[in-house]
Chain A
């Protein structure tokens, strides 16, 4: 996607982790997982039914674990990276910052995010950055149950008129926002990352794969996500460049609440 800038020459023998933009890529992924994990944790004890309560909070725990593993690739002080940065230093996509306290919104966001994650982790599973590849393969194994959960519920609900009437408008609202997941983080050139083997599929192709998966899942309802409209209007949200949405401040305050009471607290 980011093919407007010059592709930086890559030393074939260099450390893949030192590739231009590789750290920003991992940081963006970690920030996404941190925010989505924190937001899903809101459902503890208030899920619409017991099994869903357990599912959403288990998934929350998994995503926070993925965030921790990713931050761990960048340095030892995971708490400082997760909680100690200024808002503009976070690179998460805006869709991950949304509270989604309506369960239908959470389900649609969960489906969009976890399908996107599957595409994204798959592009990292054979990464030349070996420890990143290992985390990706580990995470992919866990993501399968997340995806089964999201698609299972969505399939069942889209068999009813009420479900269709309720859920499809949420796709109009959330799908265009979710495509930001595949925007290049600032300072990140996917040409350089592909050339160095850090990712095996560029952001544009990842986006196309994800749009196919989402489109296929909704095809039986006759609904087509409004990608074209989103493309035409595409004013970048800027999450990957450090611009935070209106929801971030409250989310961040909640995340650092324990640390602000006890600065010696650890993850």
Chain B
């Protein structure tokens, strides 16, 4: 017998998990980073299903994020007898385009981390210079590369190493 998720519980879970923060950037939510894909009901309405998009398949923070999301979801439906399902989906693919502009501004201002959008150049979070030079694809975390700003002569970390995935027919839409 499947129990239906009470009306309002899905919305409450959505609100709650939207506030879960990223372990790497504890002031930025997973919703702002584009990691939260969808909150809905599944299994004929007996389960709240939360779909997350991993930034990188090997990201060591994935388990922490899944745990935090599960706890936030449970807290939101306290008292309601529903199951919670947290899954990482392979489709769509996360790209830096999924980061909200407000979060990108925050990362630049507070962490000196630049965000490179698809088909747009990144600017130096320290001086605003736009002539960043690529140094290494591999920075301190799997999703950050290392670049160099010749204008202010500082090394700069850039989110946006993951290129858009390709299939034979061209880029896969995000």
Give A residues with C-beta under 8 Å from B.
37, 51, 54-55, 58-59, 61-66, 68-69, 125-126, 131, 133-135, 137-142, 144-145, 148-149, 200, 266-267
- Check if B137 sits within 8 Å of A141, measured CB to CB: no
Interface residue ranges, B against A (CB under 8 Å): 56-60, 63, 90-91, 93, 135-140, 142, 145-146, 161-169, 172
Assess the B58–A145 pair: CB atoms within 8 A. no
Alpha-carbon gap, A148 to B57, bound state (A)? 19
Do A62 and B56 touch (CB < 8 A)?
yes
Residues in B neighbouring A61, C-beta threshold 8 A: 56, 58-60, 142
> What's the minimum C-beta distance from A68 to chain B, rounded to whole angstroms?
7
- For the complex, what is the distance from the CA of A1 to the CA of B93, rounded to whole Å? 33
Shortest CB–CB separation between residue B167 and chain A, in angstroms? 5
Residues from chain A with a CB closer than 8 A to the CB of B137 are 55, 58, 145, 148-149
Name the contact of B165 in the complex, choosing from A140, A148, A149 (C-beta under 8 A).
A140
Q: Which residue of A lies closest to B172 (CB)?
A: A137
A55 contacts which chain B residues (CB < 8 A)?
Answer: 136-138
Known A65-B59, A69-B57, A138-B165: A51·B90 in contact at CB below 8 Å: no
Closest to B60 in A: A61
CA distance in complex: A66, B90 (Å): 12
Contact of A51 with B91 at beta-carbon distance under 8 Å, contacts A141-B162, A142-B162 already known: no
Contact between A138 and B60 (Cβ–Cβ < 8 Å)? no
Beyond A58-B139, A66-B57, A145-B163: 15 further Cβ-contacts under 8 Å? Answer: A51-B136, A54-B140, A55-B136, A55-B137, A59-B138, A61-B59, A65-B56, A66-B58, A68-B57, A126-B169, A140-B165, A141-B162, A141-B163, A145-B161, A266-B63
Q: Is the Cβ of A62 less than 8 Å from the Cβ of B172?
A: no
Give the distance in Å from the alpha carbon of A142 to the alpha carbon of B169 in the complex: 18
CB distance from A60 to the nearest CB of B (A): 8
Partner of A125, one of B59, B140, B142, B166: B166
B161 touches A65 (CB 8 A): no
Question: Cβ of B140: which chain A residues have Cβ within 8 Å of it?
Answer: 54
Give how many A-B residue pairs fall within 8 Å (CB-CB). 86
Q: Which single residue of chain B is at the shortest CB-CB distance from A144?
A: B163
Chain A residue nearest to B166 in the complex (CB): A140
Contact A141 B164 (CB under 8 A): yes
Q: A59: which B residues are within 8 A, CB to CB?
A: 138
- Once bound together, how far apart are the Cα atoms of A64 and B140, in whole Å? 17
Give A66 to B140 CA distance when docked, in angstroms. 19
Q: Cβ of B166 and Cβ of A138 under 8 Å apart?
A: no
- Can you report 20 A-B residue pairs in the complex whose CB atoms are below 8 A from each other? A54-B138, A58-B137, A58-B138, A58-B142, A61-B142, A62-B142, A65-B58, A66-B58, A125-B166, A125-B168, A126-B168, A134-B90, A134-B91, A138-B93, A138-B165, A139-B57, A140-B166, A141-B164, A141-B166, A145-B163
A91 to chain B, nearest CB (A): 20
Judging by beta carbons under 8 Å apart, are A131 and B90 in contact?
yes
For the complex, what is the distance from the CA of A86 to the CA of B137, rounded to whole Å? 37
Whether B138 contacts A135 by the Cβ 8 Å rule is no
Looking at the assembled complex, report how far the CB atom of B71 sits from the nearest CB atom of chain A, in whole angstroms.
17
Whole-angstrom CA separation of A95 from B104 in the bound complex: 42
**CB distance B165 to A141 under 8 Å?**
yes
Partner of B93, one of A126, A131, A137: A137
**Cβ-defined contact, B168 with A62, below 8 A:** no
Check if A145 sits within 8 Å of B93, measured CB to CB.
Answer: no
A179 and B169 CA atoms in complex are apart in Å by 28
Complex CA–CA separation, A223 to B172 (angstroms) = 38
Q: Are A142 and B57 in contact (CB under 8 A)?
A: yes
Residues of B within 8 A of A131 (CB): 90
Report yes or no: A137 in contact with B57, Cβ–Cβ below 8 A: no
Does the CB pair B167–A126 fall under 8 Å? Answer: yes
Of chain A, the residue at the smallest CB distance from B137 is A145
Q: Which among A59, A134, A141 has the greatest number of chain B C-beta atoms within 10 A?
A: A141
- Choose among A54, A66, A68 the residue that contacts B136 (Cβ–Cβ < 8 A): A54
Return B7 CB to nearest CB of chain A, in Å: 31
Question: Cβ of B60 and Cβ of A137 under 8 Å apart?
Answer: no
